Amino acid sequence: MSTMDKYISNVIRDIPPSGIRKFFDLVVQTQGVISLGVGEPDFVTPWHVREACFYSLERGYTMYTSNHGLPELREEIAAYEKRKIGVEYSPVDEILVTVGVSEAVDLAFRALLEPGDEVLVPEPCYVCYGPGTTMAFGTAVPVPTYDEDEYRLRPDVLEKYITPKSKILILAYPNNPTGGIMHKEDLQALVDIIKKNDLIVISDEIYSELTYNGRHVSIASFPGMRDRTLVMDGLSKAFAMTGWRVGYACGHPDIIGAMTKIHQYTIMCAPIMGQMAAVEALRHGEAEMRKMVDDYNHRRKIILSGLREIGLSCFEPRGAFYCFPSIANSGMNSEDFCEKLLFEEKLQWYRETLSEPAGKASSGAATPPV
């Protein structure tokens, strides 16, 4: 133990570092390799969105905003969610603008969890849900999903993991890293279970626009589910705005109010420049977003076909921008496989300079099975 390690909280000390970030750091130190492991579009944010930020700076928009976020941004979010999932939210007290969806999830955990409360986390999943639960003094309960089900959450499996301490169910569809989605009938099968067990749902819908077979369906749109669901979304993925760090949460005013209380004492507000850019993206950016989604769909088919041709079994991802191949026939675990891919095969992902037109940057957006 180092000299200062004794001062570190046991809760934080026992949380393992992110495996994805470990490989990201390795790639940065390795010549000629570009990581496919971080969930980031290779498109540059559309020019008119960047221009809106420039103009906001010229006009002197460099101050704090309301803790909830710019009123005009919350109005655009409300209109966008109504168009997308058919659910109405009040811009006044049912929408909170956050520093990315990750902050929204963290705020929800801290606002809702008492020590020992359980969070049901379907896996495979994004890396933050388990550690986020732990840091809020809750207990993450992994709930398995399976390749043969295309990684949809099955109601009979979910019920096996529910206990009297269960409080929150995470629904992150389209899914990172599998690309799985939940159809309307899949969600309908969960509704009665959620109500019977009085669960709150955190629906992470950051990839909702990247749905390739039909439209995304939110569980918040089902009767009786609006007030017990927190819809989390943002501009990062669909609008190619990862670095702007603009996310948001929509939900019942009591829960949004509790989250805002934490937000105002820790973050205060998302940066105004990003919020101004987000207003422009939501008002005028859907055409460019649709073009990016079409390109992702094209790449999806190429990468899926290529993985199968080289002998890696992979179900067809229906959403997000990931493929999740099985490496069972390699005889290696995921860490060994990815290290060999990195250091021995020098996996390349061609990217042109940022001066090239958006959309020409890469030929695929697959994710290694990390």
Residue 37 has pLDDT above 70, yes or no: no
- State pTM to two decimals: 0.89
Which two three-digit tokens encode residue 19? 């495996």
C-alpha–C-alpha distance, residues 212 and 204, integer Å: 18
- The helix (run of H) or strand (run of E) holding residue 337 is helix 334-343
pLDDT over 70 at 315, yes or no: yes
User: Do residues 56 and 127 both lie within one domain?
Assistant: yes
- Name the one residue in this structure whose structure tokens are 């008002």: 283
Question: What's the pLDDT band for 72 if we cut at 50, 70, 90?
Answer: very high
- The mean per-residue pLDDT over the stretch 226-249 comes to 97
Q: Does residue 155 sit in the same domain as residue 225?
A: yes
Same domain as 280, residue 176: yes
Q: Is residue 348 part of a domain?
A: no
| Per-residue model confidence (pLDDT) at position 334 | 81
pLDDT mean over 302-321: 93
Tell whether the model's pLDDT for residue 39 goes beyond 80: no
- Tally the domains of the chain: 2
SS3 118: strand
Q: Are residues 129 and 100 in the same domain?
A: yes
- Claim to verify: residue 181 and residue 257 sit in the same structural domain: yes
- Is residue 369 domain-resident? no
* Residue 361 belongs to a domain: no
User: Is 139 exposed, middle or buried, given 0-12, 13-18 or 19+ CB atoms closer than 10 A?
Assistant: middle
Does the pLDDT of residue 247 top 50, yes or no?
yes
Residue 139 lies in a domain: yes
Across 303-326, average pLDDT = 92
The answer to whether residues 166 and 204 belong to one domain is: yes
Q: Are residues 90 and 148 in the same domain?
A: yes
* 310 contacts: CB under 8 Å, gap ≥ 6: none
Residue 36: inside a domain, yes or no? yes
User: Is the CB of residue 204 less than 8 Å from the CB of residue 170?
Assistant: yes
Residue 353 domain flag? no
Residues 35 and 77 in one domain: no
**SS3 track for 284-312:** HCHHHHHHHHHHHHHHHHHHHHHHHHCCC
What pLDDT is stored for residue 2 in this prediction?
Answer: 65
Residue 365 lies in a domain: no
3-state DSSP assignment of residue 347: coil
Task: Provide the residue range defining the domain that includes 15.
Answer: 5-46+286-343
Identify whether residues 26 and 71 lie together within a single domain.
no
More confident residue, 354 or 178: 178
> Is 370 inside a domain boundary?
no
Type of residue numbered 238: A
Kindly write down the DSSP assignment for every residue of 38-100, as one continuous string.
S---SSPPPHHHHHHHHHHHHTT--S---TT--HHHHHHHHHHHHHHHS----TTTSEEEESH
Encode pLDDT of 97-108 as tens digits.
999 999 999 999
pLDDT of 356 over the 60 cut:
no
Predicted local confidence at residue 127, as pLDDT: 87
Do 141 and 88 share a domain, yes or no? yes
Q: Is residue 238 located within the same domain as residue 303? A: no
Q: What percent of the chain has pLDDT over 90?
A: 74
Is 111 strand, coil or helix?
helix
Q: How confident is the model at residue 151 (pLDDT cuts 50, 70, 90)?
A: very high
Question: Do residue 171 and residue 186 come from a single domain?
Answer: yes
